[in-house]
Amino acid sequence: MTARILYNVLQVLVVMVFAPLMAGTNARLKEIVQSKRGPSILQPYRDLWKLFHKDEVVSARASWIFRVTPYIAFVAPLFVAMLIPVLTSYPLFFAFMGDMLGGGFILALAGFFACLAAVDAGNPYGPMGASRTRMVSFLVEPVFMIVFFTVSFVAGSTIPYIVQQRWVASPADFFAPSHVLIVLAFLMIIIAETGRIPVDNPAGHFELAMIDESKSLEYSGRGAALMKWGGEMKAFVLMCIFLNVLVAPWGLAATTSVGAVLLAIPLVLLKMLGLIVVLVIVESSLAKLRLFRISEFLGAAFVTAVVAMIARLFAL
């Protein structure tokens, strides 16, 4: 029992520690594709260090929401990290505290507060970005639901560990059309939720075109660091769900020995590197969509998910 609690804590720590590394790797790979050298993959750590040592400036008119939001944005992905399989293939101590929908709700809560804070600060670009983020996320929401429900329907449970076990147990279902389409839909959602190129340009510094970034424009110092770190962890957690539950449920620790759990860390990072390469290829080969084309992109994701669902319900 104590081992399961400890591993759960370790899981959260892994998410905290390695999320900036993955963000840095992603940025570096993208620069390499654009035949630039790019910053070191450790750059996000340096950014965080720098931001934590700077003074924070908060507008005198900002309410408590503005102050609380960075902490919520930072903690929400950590809560989700307790629920999902990051390192082990057997359920840990907190695994039954919430299911995949619960995880989705926790992440949505962080997004909700980030939007409130963006409106709160009074920066004219904040509310604009907030409303756009809402538009993207309410289009993403139904796709999330359908993906989760289809996956849960197959596995007979909404607990991510059990879903993961199900794919390990029967690899024949892996190439079932519903599964492939679900993977495709989820990939599109990850792109939309983490603000990647066909939907949003994370490298852009033009306020009018921003979607995700403009919400944290007003933050400085510690607040900015927490928001940034929280965003990186959110991407990490989403990629973990994608890889460990849906695409590649192998390579996780199956026994409770310390060695197996520690060995799972580099394996998970390796899998994530593969996913990042795919994402970088997607990002580099597409152009950013116009704002009103985003609904088409997410409409396509929705259709993919629903086709997966009906293929599952009717064909078998």
Contact 148, 101 (CB under 8 A): yes
Q: Is 315 in the site for other proteins (CB under 8 A)?
A: yes
Name which of 19 and 311 has its Cβ closer to other proteins. 311
* 80 to 87, 103, 305: CA distances (angstroms): 14, 5, 23
Taking every pair of Cα atoms in the chain, the longest distance, rounded to a whole number of angstroms, is 61
Tell me the window of 6-14, 171-179, 199-207, 278-286 that interacts with other proteins (CB under 8 A): 171-179
Which position among 175, 206, 208, 287 is part of the footprint of other proteins (CB under 8 A)?
175
Q: Each residue of 67-96: b (16+ CB within 10 Å) or e?
A: eebbbbbbbbbbbbbbbbbbbbbbbbbbbe
Q: Which two tokens stand for residue 39?
A: 């910053």
Among residue numbers 11 through 30, which ones bind other proteins (CB under 8 A)? none
Q: Is 304 in the site for other proteins (CB under 8 A)?
A: yes
Name which of 255 and 296 has its Cβ closer to other proteins. 296
Per-residue contact flags (x/-) with other proteins for residues 181 to 200, judged by CB under 8 A: x--x----------------
Torsion of CA 279, 229, 243, 304, to 10 degrees: -60
| Coil, helix or strand at residue 243 | helix
Name which of 176 and 209 has its Cβ closer to other proteins. 176
Spatial neighbors of 193 by CB under 8 A, at least 6 apart, are: 136, 137, 140, 234, 238
Name which of 184 and 260 has its Cβ closer to other proteins. 184
Q: Is 278 in the site for other proteins (CB under 8 A)?
A: no
DSSP label at residue 97: G
We find the least distance from the C-beta atom of residue 178 to other proteins, in angstroms, to be 7
Q: Is 295 in the site for other proteins (CB under 8 A)?
A: yes
CA–CA separation, 11 and 94 (whole Å):
11
> How many residues contact other proteins, by CB under 8 A?
25
Q: Is 176 in the site for other proteins (CB under 8 A)?
A: yes
Which position among 48, 101, 180, 254 is part of the footprint of other proteins (CB under 8 A)?
180
CA–CA separation, 162 and 168 (whole Å):
10
Name which of 139 and 237 has its Cβ closer to other proteins. 139
Q: Is 122 in the site for other proteins (CB under 8 A)?
A: no
Q: Is 300 in the site for other proteins (CB under 8 A)?
A: yes
Interface residues toward other proteins, by CB under 8 A: 172-173, 175-178, 180-181, 184, 295-296, 299-300, 302-304, 306-308, 310-311, 313-316
